[in-house]
Structure 1
């Protein structure tokens, strides 16, 4: 059995619906899939039903943005209860914060002479999507303001770009605690992509998060080199952390990241995943 435990659907910034994603995963031969949309579990129920229909195993997940000591990061909650009341409430608050942020980004774009409205963004986005920067980028592309999505981010939407607005997030400690309260395990997503301060190393960041209760790290990831993978496996062993792995699939929003390609150009072998994580899989 093979697995991909980091994927996104139209519930956040992916381009496949939850059912379409699961169908594609089944066609890829995956036996275990996690849906980890940004700050929402809106696609989990549909994806789980589709996975069980194909006889696949499924992990309910979420990818939470976190900022504060020890620094900005993304955290994966895997094996969560998506109906856990505090989780549902917190995600609703984050969704409202995201809506306010979208309005501020659009206001900055307007001030820069870019004519765009929130209504245009909603109209172009998939139905039910948790609207964010990729959907704004799609409108910029459709209106000819930019020539591709990469330019939309580079010129306007990326961190420190002209229309960037900081995202309201949980602290790492809050995010880890929330995942635990919802019955899941919390993993540091794609540590190789962390933006570290001058005084930091990957090890110091992992050590600080481990002290907050982090369960593991995403030691297998679609863009890692063998050296990257070896480094994060060593850190996991040193700090007694579990490991997970995923492609970070987004569909057409990240066309260079195929579904199921996690390690050495292949899906992740289920045997590389820890028992406490597999025990939370449904199906």
Structure 2
């Protein structure tokens, strides 16, 4: 098996740090270690698994991309993807972090979109960080997020909640895409909430006094955008989407270019209309790729890094599609 861009073997051995080196090399799964055998060879049970949904401090996670990589290595995972919200800023660090482990890294993104069922998220895999069209759209997303963040701070102030101005300014300047999770953490720091869940429940959740609706890209446009840059579009945590007929919804998205669905996800705090087993059955019948991940953000996340995974072979399925886009 070889990388379609350079003929680099994906099943043989390679020196530390060997990787595809065409001008869009970030799209290729990078391999580190003395040998990397994606589809064969003896591995531990976790080496057979990949966590394809994680977030760093470039969006609403709390840890650097290098922490994501090193933690995945310490867990013995075979693969990991970084899928920050509406930014690819952390991908270079994610791909460049040195490690001697045989771990496969997939550069990704998570885009918030508007669908007939309300907000729905798209995961994009094998994202080239330097794609001009994506950069232009992400710049617009960032400006929208920053404006929304400022409006929520103002609404909190109207409620008599005054946050430390230096901490607010630091968040606005240091975080690529500031959002509600960052504001929730500031509320906890200031003593207005015991934890981020309470901050959302009292102030920031939909319908709460400091909530501000965000402008979103239409989901079909989101799929088109990802495909236009060679990234593989996958619907994230579909059982959260408020839709009456999920089968028809997925069929419509597939017709518009959707390639996969995140079937492995921890829904413990959400009442879902279907069971994960029913979801897998629908996705299988539609011929879509099944992915999975923890949606890890921090220690308070509903799932910790590596807690929800999919087979390592899923990365190869996604890579083959990326090669054809």
When normalised by structure 1's length, the TM-score is 0.88
Q: Please name the residue that 1:162 is paired with.
A: 209
Aligned partners of 2:305, 2:98: CA distance in 1, in Å? Answer: 15
CA contact (8 A) 1:13 1:253 kept: no
Q: Please name the residue that 2:246 is paired with.
A: 202
Q: Please name the residue that 2:121 is paired with.
A: 74
Q: Which runs of 5+ in 1 are unaligned?
A: none
Deviates more, 1:136-145 or 1:64-73: 64-73
> 1:111-141 deviations in whole A, cap 9, x for unaligned?
1111126642243689444211111111111
Q: Please name the residue that 2:35 is paired with.
A: none
Q: Please name the residue that 1:94 is paired with.
A: 141
Q: CA 1:115 to 1:19, structure 2 compared with 1: closer, same or farther past 3 Å?
A: same
Aligned partners of 1:145, 1:275: CA distance in 2, in Å? Answer: 46
Aligned partners of 1:151, 1:28: CA distance in 2, in Å? Answer: 30
Q: Which runs of 5+ in 2 are unaligned?
A: 1-47
Number of residue pairs matched by the alignment = 271
Residue 23 (structure 1) aligned with residue 67 (structure 2): no
Deviates more, 1:30-39 or 1:125-134: 125-134
Displacement, 1:181?
Answer: 0.9
Displacement, 1:193?
Answer: 1.6
Match of 2:310 among 243, 268, 271: 268
Larger relative contact order (CA 8 Å, sep ≥ 6) = 1
Higher-Rg structure is 2
Residue 132 (structure 1) aligned with residue 179 (structure 2): yes
CA-atom RMSD in angstroms: 2.3
Q: CA 1:67 to 1:113, structure 2 compared with 1: closer, same or farther past 3 Å?
A: same
> 1:69-110 deviations in whole A, cap 9, x for unaligned?
464201101112121100011111101110000011111111
Residue 258 (structure 1) aligned with residue 304 (structure 2): yes
Displacement, 1:211?
Answer: 2.7
CA contact (8 A) 2:144 2:215 kept: yes
Residue 186 (structure 1) aligned with residue 233 (structure 2): yes
Match of 2:162 among 102, 107, 115: 115
When normalised by structure 2's length, the TM-score is 0.77
Displacement, 1:167?
Answer: 1.2
> 1:207-249 deviations in whole A, cap 9, x for unaligned?
2322322111001113379x73321221112222111111111
Q: Secondary structure in 2 aligned to 1:20?
A: helix
Q: Please name the residue that 1:56 is paired with.
A: 103
Match of 2:150 among 103, 119, 123: 103
Q: Secondary structure in 2 aligned to 1:60?
A: strand
Residue 176 (structure 1) aligned with residue 223 (structure 2): yes
Q: Please name the residue that 1:38 is paired with.
A: 85
Displacement, 1:269?
Answer: 2.5
CA contact (8 A) 1:82 1:182 kept: no
Displacement, 1:278?
Answer: 3.9
Q: Secondary structure in 2 aligned to 1:33?
A: strand
CA contact (8 A) 1:11 1:17 kept: yes
